Amino acid sequence: MKRHLKLILLFMKLSLMKEMIYKKTFVWSFITITAWWLVQLTMVNLIYYNVKAIAGWNFGEMLVLLGTFNIVDSLIFAFFVNNMGKIADYIRKGDLDFFLIKPISSQFYVTFKLFSFNELYEVFLGMFLVFFGLGKISYNIPLINWSVFIIMIFSAIAISYALWLITSCFAFISPRISEIHEAFISISQFSKYPVGIYNKFFNRLLVWFFPVLFMAAIPAGVLLGKYSFIYAAFSIILAVMFILISTKIWNFSLKYYQSASS
Amino acid sequence: MQRLMLMDAFEYRASYWFWVFIQTLPIIGIYFLWSAIIPAGGSLKGYNYQAILTYYIGVTIAVRIIQSTPEWDLNWSINEGYFTYYLYRPISPYLEMLSVRIAMKIFNLMLFIPAISLIIYLLGSNIALPSLANLLLFFGFCLISFVIMFTISFTVGLIAFWWENAAAIFYFKNAIVALLSGYTIPFEFFPAKFQNFLNILPFKYVAYFPAKIFQGQLSLGEIGKGALLALLWMLILLTIMRFIYLKGLRRYSAVGG
């Protein structure tokens, strides 16, 4: 475990050095992230200018939801976006060979190799939105809700990672689709909206079978006291389950990998 | 040349259904979100539930036709020095990239038609289909919009002459276009003063205006006026592009020798 943490830190250090080469890009990516954040905020603002609530969520609550999404989205992007994006490449070019002979699990290596620091900036934007939104509704969130919320953020990251890896494993079947990891990014957007807008079928699908709603919509609801704490227990169970499943699928998929050398 | 690119695109048909899937997802999100915002029988800013979905379907189709990303090719070819090969050819890089894009577009649209038909079929009475005349006007207008958007993207791509790794600016441009074109939300939802501002800019012709034609809300006269203004913008943008291109070219040959 200690060795793994040490390695992650080392990977992060190397990634930071790489990113700092292009300083201007670094600064511009802050501007870009802010711009996209403002676009999304403008849309919500304009909608709430005309309606009081969407599926029972008022403006302040919606901002908490969006902020939560920003936080989780930003963390999983920082850790995984470059890594998941490369899996199809590794397979096509046969680079996976190098990871398989490393004295550490190939899943670990593929997962953490590249860290993207400029994505982290969105965490602050997200936190700002959460507190700003809470200020709009002006009721006190009990401390217990906060602690449960933070636990749920961690399981949200675990669940998202597992789902992302599982989707990316399709690259083993069809490495030609180099954008396969984008499927998860598209699906994850469903967590930006309140759970209540979906019909029964999509609700079940996105809560239990491909639980992206645990990424933001459900944690934000628990923080605001809309859902009971039982959902926190569910999120932990789902996180453990899906991490185990993703490892199983990764190891299974490796059997489909045809090495470049043999 | 165009035939070659077409064949190239056919090679990648394996990923077709995957792309259909990815493209469908946002429409599902929009469908559920707006059905929660506008209750059955109600309306908001002149849009009832059916009208807003029709608007977004129109935007989706228009963007699919209009969107092209020459800036990435420009960025790559300028940074790798490959741009020199473009200069050897008898036609200008702008025209060459434009014609290549058109060939790719024709192919992509052929594939897109079954996908969008399926989506429209599934939405059924949730949207109001345009009349044949409006549909033809819509496609015709999208041709002008295609050139407008291509020119804007190409101009932004020229930044690569001055600046290695301009990717972040390209994303920034996308954010601006998404907001100011009506892609994110129809103009009617903006405050009145800001709407006037949006109506002057060229971005309008990339999403909002075509979507309005698709909805069948514009008269023939209004469409004609819009087309004239769009053409005027096209000329202005082409002039700006040409000016920056010549400046950039001087810099390119100065660096490359």
Segment B71-99 shows an average pLDDT of: 84
B175 to A177: CB separation less than 8 angstroms, yes or no: no
- A262 within domain boundaries: no
What pLDDT sits at residue A260?
57
Q: How confident is the model at residue B1 (pLDDT cuts 50, 70, 90)?
A: very low
pLDDT band at B8 (very low <50, low <70, confident <90, very high): very low
Q: Is residue A242 part of a domain?
A: yes
Does position B126 have pLDDT exceeding 50, yes or no? Answer: yes
Domain assignment present for residue A214? The answer is yes
Q: How far is A19 from chain B (nearest CA, A)?
A: 12
In whole angstroms, give the CA distance from residue A156 to residue A249.
20
Tell me what the mean pLDDT of segment B127-143 comes to: 90
Instruction: Please compute the mean of the pLDDT values over residues B86-99 and round it to a whole number.
Output: 85
Least Cα distance to B60 among B17, B13, B123 occurs for B123
Residue B99 CA: distances (Å) to CA of A91, A258, B62, B92, B142? 34, 39, 19, 11, 16
Helix (H), strand (E) at residue A190? none
CA distances from A202 to A207, A261, B32, B147, B248 (A): 8, 44, 10, 39, 51
Put simply, the answer to whether A197 touches B35 (Cβ < 8 Å) is: yes
Average pLDDT, integer, range A9-38 = 82
Q: Which of A35, A51, A193 sits opposite B175 (nearest CB)?
A: A35
Quote the domain boundaries for residue A20: 2-254
A256 pLDDT higher than 80: no
Assigned domain for A196 exists: yes
Lowest mean pLDDT segment, chosen from A54-63, A213-222, B18-27, B238-247: B18-27
Q: Nearest CA of chain A to the CA of B132: how many Å?
A: 32
CB B62 within 8 A of CB B210: yes
How confident is the model over B64-90, as a mean pLDDT? 84
pLDDT tens string B177-225: 999 999 999 999 999 999 999 999 999 999 999 999 999 888 999 999 9
* A119, part of any domain: yes
Contact status of B46 with chain A (Cβ, < 8 Å): no
* Total tally of structural domains belonging to chain A: 1
pLDDT tens-place string over residues A103-134: 788 888 888 888 888 888 899 999 999 999 99
Show me where the domains of chain B are located. 2-256
Partners of A199 on chain B (C-beta within 8 Å) are 32
Nearest Cα of chain B lies from the Cα of A244 at a distance, in angstroms, of 26
- The yes-or-no verdict on residue B14 having pLDDT over 80 is no
Q: How confident is the model at residue A261 (pLDDT cuts 50, 70, 90)?
A: low
Q: How many CB atoms lie within 10 A of CB B28?
A: 17
Secondary structure of chain B in HEC code, one letter for each residue: CHHHHHHHHHHHHHHHHHHHHHHHHHHHHHHHHHHHHCCCCCEECCEEHHHHHHHHHHHHHHHHHHCCCHHHHHHHHHHCCCHHHHHHCCCCHHHHHHHHHHHHHHHHHHHHHHHHHHHHHHHHHHCCCCCHHHHHHHHHHHHHHHHHHHHHHHHHHHHHHCCCCCHHHHHHHHHHHHHHCCCCCCHHHCCHHHHHHHHHCHHHHHCHHHHHHHHCCCCHHHHHHHHHHHHHHHHHHHHHHHHHHHHHHHHHHHHHC
State pLDDT tens for residues A48-88. Answer: 988 888 999 999 999 999 999 999 999 999 998 888 888 88
Mean pLDDT across chain B, nearest whole number? Answer: 85
Between A47-51, A140-144, A200-204, B166-170, the lowest mean confidence (pLDDT) is in B166-170
pLDDT top residue among B126 and A40: A40
Looking at the complex, does the CB of residue A138 fall below 8 Å from at least one CB of chain B? no
Residue type, A216: A
> With bands split at pLDDT 50, 70 and 90, how would you rate the model's confidence at A41?
very high
